[in-house]
Amino acid sequence: MSDSFGIPLLGDDFPSMKVVTTHGEIELPKNYAGKWFVLFSHPADFTPVCTTEFVAFQKRYDEFKALNTELIGLSVDQVFSHIKWEEWIKEKLSVEIAFPIIADTGAVANKLGLIHPGKGTNTVRAVFVVDDKAKIRIILYYPQELGRNIDEIVRAVKAMQISDKHGVAMPAGWPNNELIKDKVIIPPAQDVKTAQERLEKASNGEFECYDWWLCYKKV
């Protein structure tokens, strides 16, 4: 990793660590070898916005699992606080949280750059999307006042997996892009020969192009 204390960079290896969770001790990223995982931090248990987020994550847990992706929550709260909060959510909201929540002493938050200096000791709303090779692929940060859009996180994981599998780029709003709908973008040509071939292939119906540098196809 580029810096052991601070925000890691995209493409960095997720740092190895042992964490205490509501499902017992977990070693990251080792315990999720061969899987993607989404680690997301929240400011504190028993808070309104965080509660709505955890319900939303849980309601989409099956969608994440279908993408070979696990969820892991985190805050600087003790494990018994997490357990009581989970019990409250189950009792009051009829939602059972099935994924682990890290009870952080501050070590994980400091290593991942999750403590905002102007917000006391609470963790920010961060999201780390880590791939099946333990590489950090996406980092999202939100202020405490704004709850996350969990559908966007599902979309981002799905889009990155398709990008990796097919060697393509994903347009804005995929799969509902205003120009090319659910199609994907072919990386721009890097030389004159390839640029000319692009237009020829487009004329043969292999894919579609607005121009040689903006070609797209269905996957």
Catalytic residues: 50
Tokens standing for residue 71: 């969820």
What is the full DSSP assignment across 108-161?
HHHHHT-B-GGGTTPBPEEEEEE-TTSBEEEEEEE-TTS---HHHHHHHHHHHH
Residue with tokens 């880590």: 130
Residues 121, 115: Cα–Cα separation, whole Å: 6
How many whole angstroms separate alpha carbon 162 and alpha carbon 108? 30
Closest CA to 159 of 180, 178, 185: 185
CB 102 within 8 A of CB 20: yes
Q: What angle do CA 121, 127, 130 make, to 5 degrees?
A: 125
Q: Is the bond preceding 29 in cis, omega lying within 30 degrees of 0? A: yes
